[in-house]
Amino acid sequence: MSELQKRQIQLEVLRYNPETDTAPRYQTYSVPCLEEWVVLDALNYIKDHLDPTLSYRWSCHMAVCGSCGMMVNGEPKLACKAFIHEYKEGQIKVEPIANFPIERDLVTSVEDFITKLASVKPYLIPKEDKPVSAGEFKQTPAELKKFKQYTLCINCMLCYAACPQYALVPEFLGPAAISMAHRYNQDSRDGGRDQRQEVIASDEGVWECSFVGACSEVCPKHVDPAGALQQVKVASTIDWYKEHLMPWMKK
Amino acid sequence: MNSKPYVREVSKTTWFLSHPRYKRYMAREVTCIFIFAYTFLLIVALARLSQGEEAFNAFVQALRSPLGVLFNVAALIAAVYHSMSWFDVTPQAMPIQMGEEFVAGNIIVNAHYGAWAVVSLIILFWGM
């Protein structure tokens, strides 16, 4: 068995202390990294051995919790999925996830996203209430497949960090929230589309999207938010034509 | 909680220089200018046509000038790039589910190229 390879990596970390700093600054740490490590391991090494004051969020270390989203060399990444061996230069720049206010070091304020996500009612709104005794809401494999990919979203907000539209127009509802609305709209058991349309089919909803496609490129779970948003646009356009050209076709 | 979040400003004018994917996006958007200009050219052509044979012939003559040819070539390149960049993303916007499975993306993209080729050929031979 070969001995594990160690490589000295210079980790340039953006730091910000709201109590003492007026602006963020970079601090460089020299970290002896194993090639098998991810950036999160390097941050944990810093926290444990070099500088206990460094703040960042993480939980699962397996790309499930969505907590450790950061900018790694300017690219939105999960720190637990950004492998050290992919960064040959020996220098890695780590910054807080873009487009969100920095609370401290690599920790950002996520309130804007949480508020927007809640506004699209990201839960099943059954078409009709029925008692538990009436049995389960059945769904075919084809009906499940229609939305399954969108259920993989882990709310890591990398799509918001990649979206230039969100950067320029902070009111934009954004990729993950609209994708989640689309996920429930596509669900055969759901009847809440009309309620969600008021929010997502607005100017600050899906029509703020200009299909840059960056969200889908950076999504660590291959949710393809850009695809979801274009489908919402198509469906909303059809709604508009139905309403204006065929007003007698009430839903 | 005493919190003083720091907001990083994004430049309204140079943001797209920060990443190659944003430059690619802007390249696609810029092609619209050529599409717009070409559409405008078609309207001018109609106006000239309404003014009689002489006016229209002068217009056609102007199109044959080096500048006219250059613009048409530039507009063609822009239109091709524009179309291709949209064809490539059609599977995302128009997924087709047949039975349980979704139709493979490359089939949807190739269908667009196929339809494009057919329409182009029809127009080419019809115009000759």
pLDDT tens digits along B59-112: 999 999 999 999 999 999 999 999 999 999 999 999 999 999 999 999 999 999
Instruction: Determine contact: B16 vs chain A, CB below 8 A.
Output: yes
Q: In this structure, are strands A91-96 and A69-72 parallel, antiparallel, or unpaired? A: antiparallel
Looking at this protein, which amino acid is placed at residue A184? Y
Partner residue opposite B19 with nearest CB, options A16, A74, A211: A74
pTM over 0.95: no
- CA dist A224 and B98 (Å) reads 20
Task: Please indicate whether, in this complex, the C-beta atoms of B102 and A145 are within 8 angstroms of each other.
Answer: yes
A98 and A128, same structural domain?
no
Confidence tier at A26 by pLDDT (50, 70, 90): very high
Instruction: Determine contact: A238 vs chain B, CB below 8 A.
Output: no
Instruction: Determine contact: A230 vs chain B, CB below 8 A.
Output: yes
Which of A56, A81, A108 corresponds to the end of one domain? A108
A87 and A194, same structural domain?
no
Confidence tier at B2 by pLDDT (50, 70, 90): low
- CA dist B96 and B104 (Å) reads 9
Per residue in A32-43, pLDDT (tens digit) is 999 899 999 999
Looking at this protein, which amino acid is placed at residue B126? W
Q: What share of chain B is helix, strand, coil (3-state, %, to 5)?
A: 75, 5, 20
Partner residue opposite A230 with nearest CB, options B2, B19, B93: B93
pLDDT at res. B80:
94
**H or E element at residue A169:** none
- CA dist B25 and B81 (Å) reads 11
Mutation for A interface: B3, B6, B12, most A CBs within 10 A: B6
A14 and A97, same structural domain?
yes
- Answer yes or no: is A250 within a domain: no
A57 and A12, same structural domain?
yes
Which of A88, A108, A128 corresponds to the end of one domain? A108
Per residue in A134-161, pLDDT (tens digit) is 988 899 999 999 999 999 999 999 999 9
**Strand boundaries in A57-202, DSSP class E:** 69-72, 75-78, 91-96, 102-104, 107-108
Token readout for B101 is 């499975």
**Domains of chain B with bracketed CATH:** 13-86 (1.20.1300.10), 88-128 (no CATH)
Instruction: Determine contact: B98 vs chain A, CB below 8 A.
Output: no
Q: What are the chain A neighbours of B17 within 8 Å (beta carbons)?
A: none
A163 and A89, same structural domain?
no
Q: What are the chain B neighbours of A102 within 8 Å (beta carbons)?
A: 5-8
Q: In this structure, are strands A6-15 and A91-96 parallel, antiparallel, or unpaired? A: parallel
A218 and A163, same structural domain?
yes
A60 and A154, same structural domain?
no
Total domains present in chain A: 2
**Which chain A residue is nearest to residue B7, measuring alpha carbons?**
A101
Query: Hey, is A114 helix, strand or coil?
Result: helix
A187 and A88, same structural domain?
no
Residues A124 and A187 sit within 8 Å (Cβ to Cβ): yes
pLDDT at res. A111:
96
Host domain of residue A12? 6-108
Residues A178 and A153 sit within 8 Å (Cβ to Cβ): no
What is the overall mean pLDDT for chain A? 95
The alpha carbon of residue A238 is apart from the nearest alpha carbon of chain B, in Å, by: 13
Task: Please indicate whether, in this complex, the C-beta atoms of A234 and B94 are within 8 angstroms of each other.
Answer: yes
Q: What are the chain A neighbours of B16 within 8 Å (beta carbons)?
A: 164
Q: What phi and psi values does residue A50 have, to the nearest 5 degrees?
A: -110, -40
Which of A66, A90, A108 corresponds to the end of one domain? A108
Task: Please indicate whether, in this complex, the C-beta atoms of A231 and B93 are within 8 angstroms of each other.
Answer: yes
The set of long-range contacts for A166-170, using a CB threshold of 8 Å and a minimum separation of 24, is: A166/A99, A167/A98, A167/A99, A167/B10, A167/B15, A168/B10, A168/B12, A168/B15, A169/A204, A169/A208, A170/A99, A170/A112
Looking at this protein, which amino acid is placed at residue A49? H
**H or E element at residue A103:** strand A102-104
Task: Please indicate whether, in this complex, the C-beta atoms of B93 and A210 are within 8 angstroms of each other.
Answer: no
- CA dist A113 and A119 (Å) reads 10
pLDDT at res. A5:
78
